[in-house]
Amino acid sequence: MKFKFKKPIERSGWIEVKLNSTEMDYLQKRIEAADAKNEDVRKELVGQISSSLDLDDPDDYFNDNVIMPLSDYFFRKHPEYGKVISNNFHSNDLNTSKLSLKLDKWWVNRQKQYEYNPIHDHSGIFSFAIWMSEPADYREQSQKENSVKSNHPQNNVFSFHYLDMFGHPASASYGLDKSREGSMLFFPAKLHHSVNPFFDNDDIRISIAGNVAVRVDKQFGTRFPTRRTQT
């Protein structure tokens, strides 16, 4: 007999990124500008946190140097994702090479102990999370009274949530600690994710999140903007 193992082509993924010092310096300047502007966007978000401020991207620096290369790389690694975008345009034969993407909305979050982001997804095509400052260590947090006897400690953890091929809930988690500072996760906007709280620590986690919208070629004159998040 002849046989071979097949993996579903629909399976997607995400990109892990380590930003360089120039990119991190730029992000810090954008946070400082956001503090000065002080535009609170929490009413658009699901996060149970103390502060979320709107960010801007003068001259499209972050869009051109980070978002666009990551978007191109994702499409190369997972070309089937173009079919998802095609559905947004009610087209079965849309060529992703005719599309351009744009950093649409992004914001800086400040998260104190006990605060969290529940499971949610985003609108748009891609989304991302960046850790600027991480005060707690998930290993130490796993020893807290609420977690120490759990077979799956989740204090101070970022997680993706999805269904496996059998329809069972699955997740992929990132324990947060100082080593996560300067890291970015870039993922399809509809991929559900969450951020769990930390405890007994008076410092503040600073992170950045954002959405990437799709824009068709100028000849079409149409663009799909995004909301920040949705449940």
pLDDT in tens, the chain (231 residues): 767 787 766 678 999 999 999 999 999 999 999 999 999 999 999 999 999 999 999 989 999 999 999 999 998 888 888 776 766 555 555 555 556 789 999 999 999 999 999 999 998 899 999 999 999 999 999 999 999 999 999 999 999 999 988 889 999 999 999 999 999 999 999 999 999 999 999 999 999 999 998 765 444 444 445 556 554
Take residue 192 and report the two structure tokens written for it: 């559900």
Domain boundaries, the chain: 15-224
Instruction: Round to whole Å and give the CA distance between 210 and 186.
Output: 10
Distance in angstroms (rounded) separating the CA atoms of residues 53 and 109: 7
Q: What global pTM score does this model have?
A: 0.88
How far is C-alpha 133 from the geometric centre of its chain's CA atoms? 16
CATH class of 15-224: mainly beta
